[in-house]
Structure 1
Amino acid sequence: MTQSSLAHDTAQGSPVRLRAVSAAGQPEVTPALQELYRGFERELLVPLWTEIGDLMPAHPRSRAVPHVWRWERLRELAAQAGELVPVGRGGERRAIALANPSLGGRPFATPTLWAAVQYLMPGEDAPEHRHTQHAFRFVVEGEGVWTVVGGDPVAMRRGDFLPQAGWNWHAHHNATAAPMAWIDGLDIPFQYVTEAQFFEFGRDEIGDAERATPDRSRSERLWGHPGLRPVSATATGPGSPLLAYRWEHTDRALNDQLALEAEGFGAAVEPGHAAVRFSDPATGADVLPTLRAEMHRIARDAETAPVQETGSSVYQVFDGSGRVTVGDRSWTVTRGDLFAVPSWQPLSVRSEAGATDSDSGALDLFRFSDSPVFEALGLGRTQVEGTTR
């Protein structure tokens, strides 16, 4: 093969395709420009002047779209999977991931966030494994499953938030006669795109001591006292050493914020909107290096100001009902429903909750996001009603 024919074949097989166009800011279309572009293609080169609008837009343009998943339907499908799909080596978990409709069928709720419904049948165990992906469980209903992290059995109950930093051995067991569903959140898409992920199988079965069902885990007994850090202990790795944040504490904190606001003290995020962030008791930072978790309570008839943020979020309705608007899409949501908020899409929420559909009489929303990543890289930006910070 001659050198000229080799160059021609390389250009023909190149994934780079360039087209000269007559447009403002673009060079004049001439035969010489066409030949220059063919040379770029052969050498796998792409000039910035043909791509700047896509690579450097005026503001973030997410590949994801706003979308809502209905809890009633998710739970029905998870129950069907419980009857048909075993838990064990191979599949590892009966976890059913949310797939954003604009991400090509990938099991990603947003380009950086994974959210899935996990379902465990009565008496069933999910085998032990570990991975570099950071994870958490959030329980919107039910109880009876213990997650076992590093040999420490941790009860999972409605309203509980259970973080688990990457590379910790973990398994689950259902100690009751009823199935249980919850949501898992992980940074799988982020680690996938950065090619940083590792995974390792553990034991097929956990020991009798780990199959215990204590009311409080060892991590809670050591780290779960508000405002108190044990002098004898130090954090052993990234992520919170506290493995369970109980609903009773979250609920009380949200109630107190709204009560203080009613008394004339500035305790809420905005009128009728209380919020708390789950934090690492050893450092005060986010519970996980790549994931932020929060709980929001919006009083009946209150409406949040539209907010835009770099990075994406997934919300689950814990209690109550309301109207959610993300970008140009709007839905009525009720208990358990999940929705995705892509980067820089404005979000506003109106609470329509009351005594008939909410224990608190308000709309309670669990939120997780990729904010720690953006802030660590200096890319975090928030805009509320025209004010950027």
Structure 2
Amino acid sequence: MSTPEASTTTSPVRLRAVDAPGQPDVTPELEALYRGFERELLVPLWTEIGDLMPAHPRSSAVPHLWRWEHLRKLAEQAGDLVPVGRGGERRAIALANPALGGRPFATPTLWAAIQYLMPGEDAPEHRHTQHAFRFVVEGSGVWTVVGGDPVPMRRGDFLPQAGWNWHAHHNATTEPMAWVDGLDIPFQYVTESQFFQFGREEISDAERTTPERSRSERLWGHPGLRPLSVGEVGPGTPLLAYKWEFTDRALSDQLAMEREGYGGTVEPGHAAVRYVNPATGGDVLPTLRTEFHRIARGAETAPVRETGSSVYQVFDGSGTVTVGEETWSVTRGDLFVVPSWQPLSVRSEAGGGDSDTGALDLFRFSDSPVLEALNLDRTSVKDTEGTSR
């Protein structure tokens, strides 16, 4: 049996002949050709090249800022109204970039959400192919359980978790706790590669214990040392918690070395570290890069453009952030998005009243590993004279 040809009334392809430079002359024959393209679901490159191959990246996302005080208040309300359990799985509230049509995506490749757990609550066990992490900007007392290993979560701790690992959360305290989740959900969504599976209904009593250090930290949390008892590891870091005390010390040492005249910073007044996999030295997760930046009071970073997108959270201090044509004053907990190829610069205005260190501290995660794997990464930095390099 033959299949009826698609008609122009049912075809999603719509082509319009236009009188413009670089376009063919508008004639009845051209119009007939375009109707034939529509029937056969064909799109000629000459009508689309400006959109498909622009001179530089044009992100569908826009710069945007979310205020922590507003997120926290709404999360508290959700804690009173929304249960945690099968179905919803997590009391996680995602950032929705205003230019992405209401999708729960911070950027076209990155998911960021505030997760809120009430006293005594368990977030049930599950696993998914999406790579994930938790970053704690305030509070302590919640334990994430990854593969049966209880891992404490405290302010400043970074807790990565590669995809397809069983995990649950438990709040062992009498106070609610909020933290930020980061995942590659949009990337796996657009590539149609995601899987999800429910786990046990309850974690065991042993997993409700509160050890000072997880088993992963006892094996992998020693600088420069790899356990010989462990062979090949999975695609993500085997270290499940990167403690704030070590991050803080590394950043403080960099700025101290700069003051002593020995360098150590990426630019004047700007210390930075990257969280890495202790087994490989590479990124902690295959699709996500995570960093921490400390900018001394009064210092300002040079404007930088990068392919790919980033989400930042202010961990401590205050300052002024400029992304593209948007400029915001930011303080502890605030989150903002840097879309692909939008210039970013930051000025620290932190002081003793709003920062434990007297500096502006920023946690950052990005999709850089994906761009680098595809050889699509590019960076442009403007120096103090305005010259790009």
TM-score by length of 2: 0.98
SS of residue matched to 1:83: helix
Q: Tell me whether 1:14 sits opposite 2:1 in the alignment.
A: no
The whole-number CA distance in structure 2 between the counterparts of 1:304 and 1:253 is 19
1:1-389 to 2 correspondence within 5 Å? 6-7=4-5, 10-385=7-382, 386-388=387-389
The whole-number CA distance in structure 2 between the counterparts of 1:71 and 1:235 is 40
Runs (4+) of structure 1 exceeding 3 A deviation are none
Structure 1 spans left out of the alignment, 5+ residues: none
Deviations 1:197-233 (A, max 9, x none): 0000000100011111111000000000011111111
SS of residue matched to 2:280: coil
Structure 2 spans left out of the alignment, 5+ residues: none
The whole-number CA distance in structure 1 between the counterparts of 2:181 and 2:231 is 27
RMSD between aligned residues: 1.2
Q: CA deviation at 1:11?
A: 2.0
The whole-number CA distance in structure 2 between the counterparts of 1:235 and 1:369 is 26
Sort the Cα spacing of 1:295 and 1:232 in 2 relative to 1 into closer, same or farther, 3 A: same
The whole-number CA distance in structure 1 between the counterparts of 2:233 and 2:310 is 28
C-alpha contact 1:139 1:182 (8 A) present in aligned 2: yes
Q: Tell me the number of residue pairs that the alignment of Structure 1 and Structure 2 aligns.
A: 385
SS of residue matched to 2:124: strand
C-alpha contact 1:235 1:241 (8 A) present in aligned 2: no
Q: CA deviation at 1:234?
A: 2.8
The whole-number CA distance in structure 1 between the counterparts of 2:9 and 2:289 is 46
SS of residue matched to 1:49: helix
Q: CA deviation at 1:235?
A: 4.2
C-alpha contact 2:233 2:279 (8 A) present in aligned 1: no
The whole-number CA distance in structure 2 between the counterparts of 1:52 and 1:35 is 21
Q: CA deviation at 1:265?
A: 1.2
C-alpha contact 1:137 1:163 (8 A) present in aligned 2: yes
C-alpha contact 1:234 1:282 (8 A) present in aligned 2: no
In percent, how many aligned pairs have the same letter?
81
